[in-house]
A = this chain, B = another copy of it.
Amino acid sequence: MSANKKTIIVFSGDLDKAMASFIIANGAAAMGNEVSMFFTFWGLNILKKPESIKLKKSFLETLFGWIMPRGAEKLGLSKMNFGGMGAFMMKTIMRKKNVSTLNELIATAREMGVKMIACTMAMDVMGIKEEELIDGLEYGGVISYLGEADEANVNLFI
């Protein structure tokens, strides 16, 4: 176990929880920690490229693709989203207060060497292909998560 390693499982695909995840990850990286983020289930939506990628998918995979948000710009809030109004309000306020957007937080995480790992099992279930996700990711499953968590002193599930 190391006092300067942290892991975060990002299960949620809500804008507010995604921002919290990256704020913690980037803060930890800035303090000299090695940080690993594992994106699974709805959390994978955060990592989607904004553009539509043409891929051969089964009917159910296509349906899942339709109803799920494509990328950091399209996420809603976990509470009080009101069909997107809540997320829009929060983004407007953040812009006014010069708080980083989620895309900026993701870019900073990348620059600071935060490891972002997409869960391959959840990708399979949700029919998400590597081509649909942003670049610079690693791919792994629960065993690689547990290996990293064993070496870390703070492990969060968000």
Using a CB–CB cutoff of 8 Å, the interface residues on chain A facing chain B are 1, 3, 9, 11, 13, 16-17, 20, 23-24, 27-28, 30-31, 33, 40-42, 58, 60-61, 63-64, 67-68, 78-80, 89-90, 92-94, 96-97, 99, 121, 124-127, 141-143, 145-146, 149-150, 153-158
Structural contact, A40 and B11, CB atoms closer than 8 A? no
Interface of A (DSSP majority class): helix
Structural contact, B124 and A97, CB atoms closer than 8 A? yes
Contacts of A127 in B (CB 8 A): 93
Structural contact, A125 and B142, CB atoms closer than 8 A? no
Selected contact of A41 from candidates B16, B30, B58, B89, CB within 8 Å: B16
Select from chain B the residue with minimum beta-carbon distance to A147. Answer: B31
* Complex alpha-carbon distance, A158 and B17, angstroms: 11
